[in-house]
Structure 1
Amino acid sequence: MATLIARTRRLAERARALPPSAVDAVIAAVCGAYVTVHAAVDGCLTWWVALLATAGSVPLLWRRRHPFWITGVVGAGTLTMDLTDSFTDLPAAQLVATYTFAALCPPVRRLVAGAVSAAAITVSVLLGAGQSLGPGGIGGKLVVAAAPFLVAYAMGTSARARRDRIAMLEERARRLAEEQDAAATRERQRIAREMHDILAHSMSMVAIQAEAGPVAVRNDPARAEEMFDTIAGTAREALAQLRRTLGVLRADEPSRRPQPGLDALPTLVAGVRRAGLDVTLEEDGRARRVPPDLAATAYRVVQESLTNTVKHAGAGSARVRLRWDGGALRLEVHDDGSGPNGANGATGANGAGGADGAHAGGGHGLTGMRERVAAAGGELSYGPGPDGRGFRVAAVLPLE
């Protein structure tokens, strides 16, 4: 039994591997041979019966491309053979045509073809009413004649529903794959921004302290010791933030510390101040509770702005200002340095800034800030300060 099932499955797989045209040719040949052999068994085989059987089966070769019209052609041949008593068994070709239009035709054509088929079956039964009808009369004969067609139509409808369901599942799988690719791209961009912000700020602080270290060792050993402590603390904090950022790539990571937020700004400002830049932190308005992702965005904007100031501006002082303004948090970082080499730029949630200039550090700094603010639904602007001196970065982050 198991061997028979296995062979049947192999035959089914081979049949599915055949091209549709070959399958249709086999079906047409089988239908024509069935009618011809049955007529021969009944003793009514003539040349014109064989011709009608062939003419009623050959159109099945085009049943997939023109199911509606092929149903009509095959139906005309079937009705002709039935009215001339050329066969008395099931009309195989017409059943295949019924299955085909049920599976492939649109709703309106299915309705028309079904109505015409019902009328043809009724006409065939009524014209043959002089023969023995059996105990059920005309009604019983109609049921018997229509039953095979109803079964063929139901099978075609089932095939159409299965095909539509497969298409729907494939479309859903395609959309899911696109969403997963988009999510992976966004996550890679987020990790790239985090790593850039962490490394750019921390390494800038380390580089500045290390460059000034030899001078401090000769002239002020106590100051040099403090600078080396700052280098060590900055490096440890950078490693901790990198570990936390890359932790999302580990499936077995049990827990991760939250990203730095607004409460970490005083520590950030103090670290930059130790690097030699006179930074002040101001806050206006009544502070509100903000989501962690928005707080992290605000922190990174301030961090990147101060990093650019330390690396590129040649500034002596900078001011960080937070202003709680109704439903928005307004950030501003303004230094007294040399300002940008390029023009002023501004961007909204979907915009693009102008030239990044000296403060850009190759363009990645302001680009990262722009992406962060846009992802939060806010606006970012940057350029020369109000009096034309220094560089100013301003961000508006919606709180609701």
Structure 2
Amino acid sequence: MTGVLIRWGLPVLVAAAQLWPFAIGDESYGWPAYAVVLASAVPLFWRRRAPVVVLLAVLLVAASYDHVGEVPGQPVWYGAIVAMHAVAAHSAPPARIAALVLSIGGTVVAVGPVTALRTIALLVAAYAVGRVNAAAVERAERLERERVVEAERAAERERARIARDMHDILSHAVSVMVVQAEAGPVVLRADPARAEAAFDAIASAGRDAMAQLRRILAVLDDDGGPRAPQPTLDDVPGLAERVRRAGVEVDFAVTGVPVPLRPDVEVAAYRITQEALTNVVRHAGAARADVRLEWKAGELVISVVDDGRGAVATGGGRGLIGIRERAAACGGTAEAGPRGDGAGFRVSARLPA
């Protein structure tokens, strides 16, 4: 609204200021004098659309002011000042520089030295103010574009994070449930207690997956309500226990002195361990997995080693890619591959502490 008022109000203000001497004097002036004053203000309505043309028109009209008969003794350079500001703010460099040079040259030729010096000073000042305003507008627009780009990048990172979380949660839960469901009919008659434990493991994996999915979906909810906490290192023992119920012997150990971690590092540590154990259940054919959390100076080292086939399925899965992405996102590194002796698979991650 302010911009519209300035855009359309300035020509009216210029015309009013230059007509004011006509109203307060006792003399009467002919219509050509009024016409010249109005003609020096009306073109300003188009100063943004054709700034150079408007400036030249205003300067030519202003130069004829003293040649139309009896007029008030006043300068009529207000329109030229506004037009020069528009040229500096809205014209390309060659056009605005040429317009400034022509304006100064024409002023020197058309008026006396004192008036010329004063007019040139005003035109140069208007040009300088116009360039400062244009630079401020350009900077604001650039910052806005950068803000939009950064917001888009942040949204893309958030989408990628949510996709990784859902992959890890569903992959882990479904893997445990499939393994237990396949084992259930086999042991149902031979070992009812073990069959009951298998069904309990299926239910537990399903409940845990639902709880974690609710946490993710809560992030997408804009109602401003309370958010459930993300999983942390304190939840890793429960993760190991669920894998034990799936039939894999898991040895979990922590060495070193734990230190506080950033929230994103806590979540990454849990998800990396979760995905590594999911691979053990789904792909490795392992009977045993060793999970180690080793606290060292300035870092947490996560190691998950199994005694399976030494390879994981690669048919389009994103598990190992997600592990590396999670580690990199919080300033760490991760690597995965067969063990040196060829028996088993190893996932290792180093996260900043």
Cα distance in structure 1, aligned partners of 2:63 and 2:116: 17
Cα distance in structure 2, aligned partners of 1:371 and 1:191: 13
Cα distance in structure 2, aligned partners of 1:19 and 1:332: 67
Per the alignment, residue 346 of structure 2 pairs with 392
Match among 282, 286, 291 for residue 320 of structure 1: 291
Gaps of 5+ in 2: 12-41, 71-86
Kept in 2: contact 1:337–1:389 (CA 8 A): yes
Cα distance in structure 2, aligned partners of 1:64 and 1:282: 69
Gaps of 5+ in 1: 43-59, 83-123, 126-141, 341-357
Name whichever of 62-71 and 154-163 sits farther off: 62-71
1:24 maps to a residue whose letter is: V
Kept in 2: contact 1:63–1:70 (CA 8 A): no
For 1:15-164, list aligned pairs within 5 A: 15-16=45-46, 19-20=49-50, 23-36=51-64, 38-39=66-67, 41=69, 65-68=94-97, 71-82=100-111, 124-125=112-113, 142=114, 146-164=117-135
Per the alignment, residue 14 of structure 2 pairs with none
Q: Secondary structure at the match of 1:41?
A: coil
Per the alignment, residue 183 of structure 1 pairs with 154
- CA deviation after TM superposition for structure 1 residue 145, in Å: 5.8
Cα distance in structure 2, aligned partners of 1:14 and 1:386: 80
Kept in 2: contact 1:285–1:323 (CA 8 A): yes
Match among 268, 291, 300 for residue 239 of structure 2: 268
Kept in 1: contact 2:107–2:116 (CA 8 A): no
1:65 maps to a residue whose letter is: P
Name whichever of 233-242 and 324-333 sits farther off: 324-333
1:198 maps to a residue whose letter is: I
Per the alignment, residue 317 of structure 2 pairs with 363
Higher-Rg member (1/2): 1
Give the number of the structure with larger relative contact order, counting CA–CA contacts within 8 Å between residues 6 or more apart: 2
* Distance 1:14-1:273 versus aligned 2 partners, 3 A rule: farther
* Distance 1:76-1:24 versus aligned 2 partners, 3 A rule: closer
- CA deviation after TM superposition for structure 1 residue 147, in Å: 4.1
Per the alignment, residue 373 of structure 1 pairs with 327
Please state if 1:245 is matched with 2:229. no
Q: Secondary structure at the match of 1:188?
A: helix
* Distance 1:228-1:316 versus aligned 2 partners, 3 A rule: same
- CA deviation after TM superposition for structure 1 residue 64, in Å: 6.3
- CA deviation after TM superposition for structure 1 residue 296, in Å: 1.9
Kept in 1: contact 2:310–2:345 (CA 8 A): yes
Per the alignment, residue 249 of structure 2 pairs with 278
Q: Secondary structure at the match of 2:301?
A: strand
Match among 172, 175, 183 for residue 212 of structure 1: 183
- CA deviation after TM superposition for structure 1 residue 168, in Å: 0.8
- CA deviation after TM superposition for structure 1 residue 183, in Å: 0.8
Cα distance in structure 2, aligned partners of 1:253 and 1:378: 32
1:247 maps to a residue whose letter is: A
Q: Secondary structure at the match of 1:152?
A: helix
Kept in 1: contact 2:44–2:54 (CA 8 A): no
Number of residue pairs the alignment of both structures matches = 300
Per the alignment, residue 112 of structure 1 pairs with none
- CA deviation after TM superposition for structure 1 residue 289, in Å: 2.9
Please state if 1:308 is matched with 2:279. yes
Please state if 1:254 is matched with 2:258. no
Per the alignment, residue 173 of structure 2 pairs with 202
- Cα deviation 1:94-148 (Å, max 9, x = unaligned): xxxxxxxxxxxxxxxxxxxxxxxxxxxxxx44xxxxxxxxxxxxxxxx4x66444
Task: Supply the RMSD in Å over aligned alpha carbons.
Answer: 3.2
Cα distance in structure 2, aligned partners of 1:281 and 1:386: 21
Kept in 1: contact 2:253–2:292 (CA 8 A): yes
